[in-house]
Chain A
């Protein structure tokens, strides 16, 4: 399995380009914006990152979780971070914090400083893997405003699932630990720009946080302090959730994709007013105020129809993807979305200014488009993880996959 990356690379978090010293006019754009997917190389031994089993990305960094239970960082001042990460099971990274989950503890480090001890940590009393109940204590070390000690009973899921931790979750800004009521049966959690999406064991979706751009999916622009069910999805069991800067995505057990929130760059895959149309469709007098009445010139279409642009989608909408596909995984950047189908295709849409859509252009898109790079190289995409302005995908050679299945 190989990992590929494309999009924002100003800190070398995707790849560091070899540059000759004499070259003065370097391809500055190519360094900062990677528009063609690049296979990730390990900084340790310059071989392919075959042993990487998971990637996490923040705006300026990338964290690789290796099979060897170590975490490697790439990107902005990555070399100066010298944590002992042996035995680490999971990690999440924000612009200011790196949180690591070990079998017996969870630690959160301030990634901008060279502290000897983590900013916050929590002990986990490990139980046998098959046990249904975990009991643990949580204490906070230095610099946290509230001091708490709690005993919580919760169900144990195979593997740690950051940002979920026993009793709650790790937030991207202080207070680091936020508690979650056990009755919610938290299964997985996605942190958006200023909002949170939660998937529960029975397949229900909850949301809370900032609602100003419809990203909570409750039908309005009101923010919520406590988890609230996304009622519009009631009755459809969901299998995964993802959250971007101001938008949210979830996938049903049946493989359907639902989107809601802000669509200013087409990140919902719905028609977006702000986007440039392709040159052949451009009218003689493009205006900034392209409004509801601008008809699309379709040669086969006889009558003019009004195109409706969606700026904010406050209720979840089912996304129509062409060709029709079953989705199994999705991830969101700050203003773009990427999703993997069960047949191994990667679709991307939304903000593309830094090449993060992988279509080898810097255009933004307001409808899902397949990333042809992987199909052309006979690669079957199995996973996708987005940083705010870039995208990382895991893929295997189709031949390998067939072998495995025989």
Chain B
């Protein structure tokens, strides 16, 4: 039986000389020296009582550089450096018969590198995390079988906590004259002529029925846990991103499901359930296994961009997640996989009635609370015409570029969005 370490080291270069450490001048030689020492430790046969030390130094210095200036301006080399730090830390954690806790720490370290770093050595962190995950699955198979049975039950009977404030009706009735049009499997040409060119919203039915996520590998909480439960993801905490108490944190998918979907842990003193949302995250780049369960809609080929330029985001959360009314600079296919969502759409022509924020940061977001508008502060809003719909699993909503949209989840929901041009 191959040890974990032998599997991991098989993915590494055979010796120190073959291990590349190339950086631009921006990375000071003292920092490269730290990396060199880490690399030396990796291939050294002498045991050091603290192998994670140099790796941690690399992580700490690159973390500081990553947080200097604006994210956009961060030199790619600092992100690569961070990934190297993660690599060395994982190696140090898994060198000598690691415990399950250490393996989980190693998975988390890989994820931090995938989230914040830049791919190095043919995306070695992705290779590492796959090896580590299979190690975990071996040990926790029995546990999961038992928990799965309990969880599928919980997902079926979702109840409201009495403490939750219900401000709006649970499932808003859709007025027929305001409903977004629906069409089943239109031809490319038909979609292009009737909806893309005139920039008209529409719900496409039947176009994702072939997705494994809706077919042979149906997405459920149990499935997500089994494929990616120990993986760390960014979670938004707070009712909406325009609120003062909104923040982002990192959780494993297991922790996120326990805390925010199944509400196992109460941490809010006031008794109100905090909303957590795995939102706008390129989950499928981080977890390729899930990418296998979805497909890029054919209609995206009607755009001018490359397939590589299409941004695919995951949106996974409990009931009541709200995306405030906002607009995006690209075309959007919003595919509903699990659960349902209420969506309202406003045309860019009516922007003057939607009171966007003045600040640079939020100028694409409206100040108005769509389902509870302040008519004194925003008098024109009630006169703005709109379309609305409830998305069910299997629906794909076409949101034309710059179209204002507001989204509220009506139960545990998983959507996938495709931003294309």
**Nearest CB in chain A: distance from B32 CB, A:** 10
Please name the residue on chain B nearest to A334 by beta carbon: B64
Contact with B along A6-32 (1 / 0, CB 8 A): 000011000000000000111111001
User: Given the known A-B contacts A10-B57, A59-B61, A288-B249, are A96 and B267 also in contact in the complex, defined by CB atoms under 8 Å?
Assistant: no
Which one of B2-10, B48-56, B145-153, B331-339 is at the A interface? Answer: B48-56
- A76/B33 in contact, CB under 8 A: yes
A342 at the A/B interface (Cβ < 8 Å)? no
Name the interface residues of B45-85: CB closer than 8 Å to any CB of A: 46-50, 53-54, 57, 60-61, 64, 67-70
| C-alpha spacing A353/B64, complex, angstroms | 14
Q: Is the interface of B mostly helix, strand, loop or mixed?
A: loop
B245 partner residues in chain A, CB cutoff 8 A:
292
A293 at the A/B interface (Cβ < 8 Å)? yes
- A285/B265 in contact, CB under 8 A: yes
- B60/A353 in contact, CB under 8 A: yes
Please name the residue on chain B nearest to A287 by beta carbon: B267
- A289/B269 in contact, CB under 8 A: no
Counting chain B CB atoms within 10 Å of each CB, the highest count among A27, A96, A245, A289 belongs to A289
Please name the residue on chain B nearest to A60 by beta carbon: B30
**Nearest CB in chain B: distance from A193 CB, A:** 6
B28 at the A/B interface (Cβ < 8 Å)? yes
- A212/B70 in contact, CB under 8 A: yes
A295 partner residues in chain B, CB cutoff 8 A:
269
Interface size on A, residues (CB 8 A): 39
- A96/B28 in contact, CB under 8 A: yes
- B269/A245 in contact, CB under 8 A: no
Name the interface residues of A51-101: CB closer than 8 Å to any CB of B: 59-61, 76-77, 95-96
- A28/B49 in contact, CB under 8 A: yes
| C-alpha spacing A77/B237, complex, angstroms | 46
B50 partner residues in chain A, CB cutoff 8 A:
28-29
Q: How large is the interface on B (under 10, 10 to 19, 20 to 34, 35 or more residues)?
A: 20 to 34
User: Given the known A-B contacts A10-B57, A245-B64, A334-B64, are A289 and B249 also in contact in the complex, defined by CB atoms under 8 Å?
Assistant: yes
User: Given the known A-B contacts A76-B33, A246-B67, are A32 and B57 also in contact in the complex, defined by CB atoms under 8 Å?
Assistant: yes
User: Given the known A-B contacts A59-B61, A245-B64, A288-B250, are A112 and B29 also in contact in the complex, defined by CB atoms under 8 Å?
Assistant: yes
| C-alpha spacing A289/B68, complex, angstroms | 24
**Nearest CB in chain A: distance from B384 CB, A:** 31
Counting chain A CB atoms within 10 Å of each CB, the highest count among B47, B49, B251 belongs to B49
B99 at the A/B interface (Cβ < 8 Å)? no
A194 at the A/B interface (Cβ < 8 Å)? yes
- B61/A293 in contact, CB under 8 A: no
A306 at the A/B interface (Cβ < 8 Å)? yes
Contact with A along B171-183 (1 / 0, CB 8 A): 0000000000000
Contact of A95 among B28, B54, B267, B268 (CB under 8 A): B28
Q: Is the interface of A mostly helix, strand, loop or mixed?
A: loop
B270 at the A/B interface (Cβ < 8 Å)? yes
- B64/A25 in contact, CB under 8 A: no
Name the interface residues of A272-300: CB closer than 8 Å to any CB of B: 285, 287-289, 291-295
A210 at the A/B interface (Cβ < 8 Å)? yes
B294 partner residues in chain A, CB cutoff 8 A:
none
User: Given the known A-B contacts A24-B46, A245-B64, are A10 and B269 also in contact in the complex, defined by CB atoms under 8 Å?
Assistant: no
Please name the residue on chain B nearest to A311 by beta carbon: B247
**Nearest CB in chain B: distance from A364 CB, A:** 12
**Nearest CB in chain A: distance from B324 CB, A:** 20
Contact of A112 among B28, B48, B249, B274 (CB under 8 A): B28
B29 partner residues in chain A, CB cutoff 8 A:
76-77, 112
- A293/B270 in contact, CB under 8 A: yes
Contact with A along B247-287 (1 / 0, CB 8 A): 00111000000000000010111100010000000000000
- A28/B48 in contact, CB under 8 A: yes
B290 at the A/B interface (Cβ < 8 Å)? no
Please name the residue on chain B nearest to A291 by beta carbon: B267
B199 at the A/B interface (Cβ < 8 Å)? no
Please name the residue on chain B nearest to A28 by beta carbon: B50
**Nearest CB in chain B: distance from A73 CB, A:** 12
Please name the residue on chain B nearest to A245 by beta carbon: B64
Please name the residue on chain B nearest to A246 by beta carbon: B67
User: Given the known A-B contacts A28-B48, A245-B64, are A288 and B30 also in contact in the complex, defined by CB atoms under 8 Å?
Assistant: no
Contact of A293 among B28, B49, B269 (CB under 8 A): B269
Counting chain A CB atoms within 10 Å of each CB, the highest count among B54, B61, B70 belongs to B61
User: Given the known A-B contacts A28-B49, A287-B265, are A10 and B34 also in contact in the complex, defined by CB atoms under 8 Å?
Assistant: yes
Contact with B along A117-150 (1 / 0, CB 8 A): 0000000000000000000000000000000000
B46 partner residues in chain A, CB cutoff 8 A:
24
B53 partner residues in chain A, CB cutoff 8 A:
28-29, 32
- A210/B69 in contact, CB under 8 A: yes
A77 partner residues in chain B, CB cutoff 8 A:
29-30
A10 partner residues in chain B, CB cutoff 8 A:
34, 54, 57
B64 partner residues in chain A, CB cutoff 8 A:
193, 245, 334-335, 388
A285 partner residues in chain B, CB cutoff 8 A:
265
**Nearest CB in chain A: distance from B59 CB, A:** 11
| C-alpha spacing A50/B270, complex, angstroms | 59
B270 partner residues in chain A, CB cutoff 8 A:
293
Please name the residue on chain A nearest to B360 by beta carbon: A222
User: Given the known A-B contacts A29-B50, A60-B30, are A306 and B269 also in contact in the complex, defined by CB atoms under 8 Å?
Assistant: yes
A388 partner residues in chain B, CB cutoff 8 A:
64
Please name the residue on chain A nearest to B276 by beta carbon: A289
Pairs across A and B, CB under 8 Å, 17 listed:
A10-B34, A25-B47, A25-B49, A27-B49, A28-B49, A29-B53, A32-B53, A32-B54, A59-B30, A60-B33, A193-B64, A288-B250, A289-B249, A291-B274, A293-B267, A294-B267, A334-B64
Known A-B contacts: A24-B46, A28-B48, A59-B61. Give 14 more (CB < 8 A).
A11-B30, A11-B33, A25-B49, A28-B50, A29-B49, A60-B30, A77-B29, A96-B28, A193-B64, A246-B67, A292-B245, A293-B267, A304-B269, A388-B64
